[in-house]
Structure 1
Amino acid sequence: MPGRWVASLGAIALAGAGAALAAQSQDQDAPESLLPEGFGDPAPPPPADRPRPQTPPPPAGTPPPASRPGEIVQPLPGLPTAPGLPTPSPTPTPTATPLTAAELLQYDLPDYARRSTARVGAIGLAEGGLPANGFGRSDGRFLEGLMRRLDAPIASRWLSITLRRMLVSRLDTPANVNGADFAAERAWLLLRMGEAQAARDVVNGVDTENFTPKLDQVAMQAALATADPAMLCPLQPFAMARTRDTGWRLAEAMCAGLSGEPSRAGKLIDAARRQRAATGIDLLLAEKVLGAGAQGRRAVTIEWDGVDRLSAWRWGLATASGVAVPDTLLASAGPQVRGWAARAASIAPPARLRDADWAASQGVLSNLAMVDLWSQVEDADGTSNSDASIARDLRAAYTSADMAERVSILAQLWSEASDPRQRHARMVLAARAAAGIRPAEAQAASAGDLIASMLTAGLDRPAARWRPFVEAGSQGWALIALTDPDAGAAVGQSEVNAYRGAVDERRAQLFFAGVAGLGRVEAGDIPALAQAFGVPINAENGWVRAIRGAAERREPATVVLLAAVGMQTPDWGGVAPAALFHIVAALRQVGLEGEARMIAAEAVSRA
């Protein structure tokens, strides 16, 4: 296919209370594989072959809210809403009243195909998900509270990937919560993480007849975040029976238009206008969508003048209908919108690049997704000269037979990044190009960056091949010490101290926390090293006891959620080394050692 110079992309893998506590202790679609990408991958093919590319948070106690009549939809955190929104109840929404017999006639699914809300999710264990009993004996109300209050996005890209895998896994509904409501909480958290497609998959894991008002609201949010108003159509008759939400009234009109009933759609939208159920740009955007259906004859012009706030409704319908949202409005939105935009197929590839940097640095986009996007950019209309130049250089970094040229291109790609987040995104972009560099003494000076880039895609074995060429105590050595899947001997106390002498104190603390949490230091050396590095791994608080208890009970899903609670900070600068130690140790104890290794390496490379 023209412009595609690397193997085509598969769909993206579906897959601060805790941070403050840890800091106090210190001071005081066919998806990609959902297993961490690249783990145990063989070495890349010889150079002659083409390389194969493997907001503010919601206020505490705020669940996904249900809109009052007349409100379009509650926007996500960071997307302003209309004034006067009621404060939602922090308790789970009770299961809705059973549908009437007439309503059930609309749901013609044989008994064998119906799914129980006792287990909800998109992927099973064989597909890379977590075990169905991953929450063990944990109380559902406790887990709901953690998810609802979690300040997303979190610091670690790899932990965010792991959290996504957990949230989309086919998991048993824990005790004391409604299964559909619990699914809504999972999808709501995914939306706040920028994971719109994953949220949609969780919503679709519940049969329509089992929806609750809370899940109705989150389903609408997922449809808007994926810029897919057609997702609302099979849900709309059921949701209308449970709520008078204006959003569903307008969805009825849009769905009539999309299904080729322009006359009915026009009557519905005109009635909404007469009754002032919605006004202004919210109504015009709905009219724009319904006019896109078969035989739609409504020509609607969208003007953003006078619009000072961006809601999920406005972003989703504008994106779905090909209407560009002004940059000034986008700048006011929460960061999760960048994740939505990075994967919006209706946005031209060149326009998605800046959002893709954010999405890659957060784990929303993988190395494969980034490579695929940039391969489209090279020949796309509207691509700037600088972006086209980067795309050409990247192609050479993947395909050139000259190893020195490849290394030079990658070094330039990373050095020209405008900030640390973009630099990390470009390391994700170049991961398999870095893995295609033959380990050699001539390239040893660049080994640290090459290894860090490989590890963004989980390429631990190709990274470990550099062991003979990295100097003890160097950055490359430290990353291999943390991630080599075949590591034999433990890291000695003298080696840990040697690394400490070569880097700044914080990076040294994070390295110690990672290597100790992974059990790669002799147990007898840990107390002395912890004291020397000033990392209080024995300090106790509620979060430490909770994550340690979940690990001891072998509850991987609970551990992943608590680990995310411990990383509620925009970047690694806010993560306490002691928190990293407990997160890595707990993940390793519940069988997620691969993820623990990548998180530890990410801490050191992004510190």
Structure 2
Amino acid sequence: MATSRARASRYRAGILGAAALAVGAAAVAQDRPESLLPPGFGDPAPAPAPSPTGAAVPAPVPGGGFVQPLPVPSPSPAVSASPSPSPSPTSTASPYQLPAFARRSLTRVGVAQTALPVDAFGAADGRSIELLMRRLSAPLPSRWTSILLRRLLVAQVETPAGVNGADFAAERAWLLLRMGESVAARAVVQGVDTDRMTPKLRQVWMQASLATADPAGLCPLAEGAGDSERGWVVARAMCATLGTGARSQPLVAAIRRRRIASGIDLQLAQKVMGAGLNSRQAITIEWGPVTQLTAWRFGLATATGVAVPDELYATVGPQVAGWRALAAAIPLAERAAPAERAAAMGVLSNVALVDLYAAVADDDAAPRTVTADAETLRDAYVAGDRAARLAAMRQLWSAAATPAARYARLVLTARAAARLTPAAETAEADRLVASMLAAGLDRSAQRWRGVVPAGGDAWAMLTLADPDAGGRAAAFDDYAPQGPTADRRRRLFLAGLAGLGRLSTGQVEQAAAALDVRIGAETPWTRAIDRAARDRQGGMVILLAAVGMQTGDWSGVPAEHLYRIVAALRAVGLEGEARMIAAEAIARS
């Protein structure tokens, strides 16, 4: 028994070391670590004295109003053999409770059937997993790593040992929100029965409802929340008027008298109340004094059709682009720009992005600049001849001003590129191949293998993405990239090939020495991801792969990290995703 406890202790210590390296890895790639919380959505207040329910008390905001508190973090896991259990779920009296036969178990939480096994986390300690999720800086620089992480976070997987299933769902949903995946986050929290709430899940439930602009989504929990949580007090008032015909004036007066909310936050709540039956309120929203956008303001304004000023979107993080892209209440034309950013992050697929532009093309009220892009995209797909389609794609690509925007346009044109007949004289081969691979169209891209210039970027991406290569050796020395980032792309190409098992040990060592890639260096993170791969813990591998990419863009991802990520994903049966990540590294560097 003592031996097993010691082994468990060493395992947790290794994972916690990887969690600590989550900051260290970011420091390798950037001057200072990024915030782990969505910018502009309130910093956590100093920890209050523990209340009997364990709920956090919202922090007052200068000038009135309130900011809903961020999720209460669980105690940091100690390296011990006997983990402390997560807080027990609190009973929530609600008319929305399910009958006994329809109750859902907390031993397996998730909303999607995926290729991942239900024991994706194996014997890994749940507290360590939660710590990694909480400290993970998102969005990630890699679209394909983000897609893979989303699949893990929504998958039906067994709750790991040492944590409560409701709290585990909350951590997953909170990470999804930071990734821009608002709809997926809401689905995860709503996968837990309302009478099994914990304080942490209740707080994330509110954040998910606001991120999806769904104030009615607060109602199943509003009655059971305590009066110490000001956001829920206002939510109860809103829910009392929605669909019931209740008068809102007495509720608003009580909120003002108790100084629960004021200013823009209360005005927006009144706007929601005004949507109820028999409401005679006419609320005018004044954004002038507001200098910061919060989740409350975004959610209630979007739900009631109040446009948020563009300058306030500049006060929040990139994950809000995902929220905007997925918010059905925002007009399609206004969602086009954030939808492209969301596609680059992995929130939207090529199909979803093209469908959005197809709808915008038929919208007479859309701005001309947006409909012009939609018409150009239509030409890229269905113009009468090959030259016209390629010219339309080139026009879309050249209009992008930033690296993220350029990659988003590659996602947008992926299937248009796949419709082109390969031709040796095509000057845009690099971007065409990168475009197809951005959407995972690896077999369509492979049709270009015989016509792209050997040793160029398109050739390198096709080599990495080849679904039929197996363990076939690749000619690393043939890659001769051009431009200011040529050396970096050679390092990433080496890392991708080595991780995919396409080079011999001697080749890897020789090339790594020549390029100064410390491919065999060990750190707590490398030991953790190697161990997870050996133990076939696919969930841990995906999570640790994301930990190894905590930087603002691909320029900060070390080649050594790419090698470990690709090799570990391949070891747990995720070779397709590993190939796409390796190819993406070339396309975005």
> How many angstroms apart in 2 are the aligned matches of 1:563 and 1:86?
25
> How many angstroms apart in 1 are the aligned matches of 2:543 and 2:534?
15
Deviation at 1:572, TM superposition (A): 0.4
> How many angstroms apart in 1 are the aligned matches of 2:281 and 2:575?
56
Relative distance call for 1:98 and 1:151 in structure 2 (3 A) is closer
2:194 corresponds to 1:208: yes
Query: Which amino acid counterpart does residue 99 of structure 1 have in structure 2?
Result: S
Deviation at 1:532, TM superposition (A): 1.9
Relative distance call for 1:56 and 1:501 in structure 2 (3 A) is closer
2:532 corresponds to 1:550: yes
Query: Which amino acid counterpart does residue 542 of structure 2 have in structure 1?
Result: V
CA contact (8 A) 2:214 2:299 kept: yes
Deviation at 1:108, TM superposition (A): 4.5
* Residue of structure 1 aligned with 2:245, choices 261, 276, 279: 261
Please name the residue that 1:538 is paired with: 520
Task: Show CA shifts across 1:120-173 (max 9, x none).
Answer: 01112xxx3521100111111111111111111111011011111100011111
Query: Which amino acid counterpart does residue 163 of structure 1 have in structure 2?
Result: L
Higher deviation after alignment, 506-515 or 129-138:
129-138
Please name the residue that 2:81 is paired with: none
Relative distance call for 1:571 and 1:26 in structure 2 (3 A) is closer
1:123-138 alignment, distance < 5 Å? 123-124=112-113, 128-138=114-124
Query: Which amino acid counterpart does residue 224 of structure 1 have in structure 2?
Result: L
Please name the residue that 2:109 is paired with: 120
Higher deviation after alignment, 312-321 or 377-386:
377-386
Please name the residue that 1:42 is paired with: none
> How many angstroms apart in 2 are the aligned matches of 1:446 and 1:68?
55
Relative distance call for 1:351 and 1:97 in structure 2 (3 A) is closer
Relative distance call for 1:95 and 1:107 in structure 2 (3 A) is farther
Higher deviation after alignment, 402-411 or 317-326:
402-411
> How many angstroms apart in 2 are the aligned matches of 1:422 and 1:525?
36
CA contact (8 A) 2:210 2:299 kept: yes
Higher deviation after alignment, 294-303 or 480-489:
480-489
Query: Which amino acid counterpart does residue 477 of structure 1 have in structure 2?
Result: W
Task: Show CA shifts across 1:537-565 (max 9, x none).
Answer: 11010000000000000001111110000
> How many angstroms apart in 2 are the aligned matches of 1:232 and 1:84?
13
* Residue of structure 2 aligned with 1:99, choices 58, 82, 91: 91
Superposed CA RMSD in Å reads 2.8
Relative distance call for 1:234 and 1:146 in structure 2 (3 A) is same
Query: Which amino acid counterpart does residue 241 of structure 2 have in structure 1?
Result: G
Deviation at 1:110, TM superposition (A): 2.6
CA contact (8 A) 1:129 1:170 kept: no
> How many angstroms apart in 1 are the aligned matches of 2:435 and 2:181?
23
Query: Which amino acid counterpart does residue 498 of structure 1 have in structure 2?
Result: D
2:464 corresponds to 1:498: no
> How many angstroms apart in 1 are the aligned matches of 2:139 and 2:346?
10
Deviation at 1:511, TM superposition (A): 0.8
* Residue of structure 2 aligned with 1:282, choices 231, 252, 265: 265
Task: Show CA shifts across 1:168-209 (max 9, x none).
Answer: 011111111111111111101111111100100110111111
Ranked by relative contact order (alpha carbons within 8 Å, sequence separation 6 or more), the top structure is: 1
CA contact (8 A) 1:17 1:568 kept: no
Deviation at 1:71, TM superposition (A): 5.3
Q: State the secondary structure of the residue aligned to 2:223.
A: helix
Relative distance call for 1:26 and 1:520 in structure 2 (3 A) is farther
Relative distance call for 1:120 and 1:234 in structure 2 (3 A) is same
Deviation at 1:87, TM superposition (A): 11
Q: State the secondary structure of the residue aligned to 1:234.
A: helix
Please name the residue that 1:322 is paired with: 305
Deviation at 1:593, TM superposition (A): 0.7
Relative distance call for 1:510 and 1:81 in structure 2 (3 A) is farther
* Residue of structure 1 aligned with 2:331, choices 337, 343, 348: 348
CA contact (8 A) 1:148 1:185 kept: yes
Deviation at 1:353, TM superposition (A): 2.0
Query: Which amino acid counterpart does residue 562 of structure 2 have in structure 1?
Result: L
Query: Which amino acid counterpart does residue 449 of structure 2 have in structure 1?
Result: R
Relative distance call for 1:365 and 1:57 in structure 2 (3 A) is same
CA contact (8 A) 2:519 2:563 kept: yes
> How many angstroms apart in 1 are the aligned matches of 2:209 and 2:577?
30
CA contact (8 A) 1:72 1:247 kept: no
Deviation at 1:239, TM superposition (A): 2.8
Please name the residue that 2:212 is paired with: 226
CA contact (8 A) 2:124 2:161 kept: yes
Please name the residue that 1:365 is paired with: 348
Task: Show CA shifts across 1:244-271 (max 9, x none).
Answer: 31111111111122122232x4432322
> How many angstroms apart in 2 are the aligned matches of 1:253 and 1:71?
20
TM-score, L = length of structure 2: 0.87
Deviation at 1:384, TM superposition (A): 3.0
* Residue of structure 2 aligned with 1:376, choices 341, 359, 364: 359
Relative distance call for 1:340 and 1:25 in structure 2 (3 A) is closer
Relative distance call for 1:18 and 1:576 in structure 2 (3 A) is farther
Please name the residue that 2:442 is paired with: 460
Query: Which amino acid counterpart does residue 112 of structure 2 have in structure 1?
Result: I
Please name the residue that 2:235 is paired with: 251
Deviation at 1:515, TM superposition (A): 1.2
Query: Which amino acid counterpart does residue 483 of structure 1 have in structure 2?
Result: A
CA contact (8 A) 1:25 1:539 kept: no
Task: Show CA shifts across 1:54-94 (max 9, x none).
Answer: x73239x9799987556599xxxxxx996997995551894
Q: Kindly tell me the number of residue pairs found equivalent between the two proteins.
A: 546
Q: State the secondary structure of the residue aligned to 1:262.
A: coil
> How many angstroms apart in 1 are the aligned matches of 2:124 and 2:268?
43
Please name the residue that 1:422 is paired with: 405
2:570 corresponds to 1:591: no
CA contact (8 A) 1:63 1:90 kept: no
* Residue of structure 1 aligned with 2:292, choices 309, 318, 321: 309
Deviation at 1:25, TM superposition (A): 8.8
Please name the residue that 2:144 is paired with: 158
Higher deviation after alignment, 386-395 or 536-545:
386-395
CA contact (8 A) 1:157 1:363 kept: yes
Query: Which amino acid counterpart does residue 240 of structure 2 have in structure 1?
Result: A
Higher deviation after alignment, 199-208 or 514-523:
514-523
Q: State the secondary structure of the residue aligned to 1:143.
A: helix
> How many angstroms apart in 1 are the aligned matches of 2:440 and 2:207?
32
Deviation at 1:520, TM superposition (A): 1.8
**Mind listing any 5+ residue stretches in structure 2 that lack a counterpart?**
1-18, 48-53, 77-84
> How many angstroms apart in 2 are the aligned matches of 1:501 and 1:245?
57
Task: Show CA shifts across 1:446-503 (max 9, x none).
Answer: 22211100011100000011111122211111111111111257244xx311214656
* Residue of structure 2 aligned with 1:167, choices 138, 153, 159: 153
CA contact (8 A) 2:90 2:197 kept: no
Relative distance call for 1:548 and 1:21 in structure 2 (3 A) is farther
> How many angstroms apart in 1 are the aligned matches of 2:171 and 2:377?
40
> How many angstroms apart in 1 are the aligned matches of 2:585 and 2:46?
32
Query: Which amino acid counterpart does residue 257 of structure 1 have in structure 2?
Result: T
CA contact (8 A) 1:57 1:150 kept: yes
Query: Which amino acid counterpart does residue 459 of structure 2 have in structure 1?
Result: W
CA contact (8 A) 1:70 1:278 kept: no
Deviation at 1:215, TM superposition (A): 0.4
Please name the residue that 1:58 is paired with: 37
2:175 corresponds to 1:189: yes
Relative distance call for 1:383 and 1:558 in structure 2 (3 A) is same
**Mind listing any 5+ residue stretches in structure 1 that lack a counterpart?**
1-15, 28-54, 74-79
> How many angstroms apart in 1 are the aligned matches of 2:425 and 2:369?
30
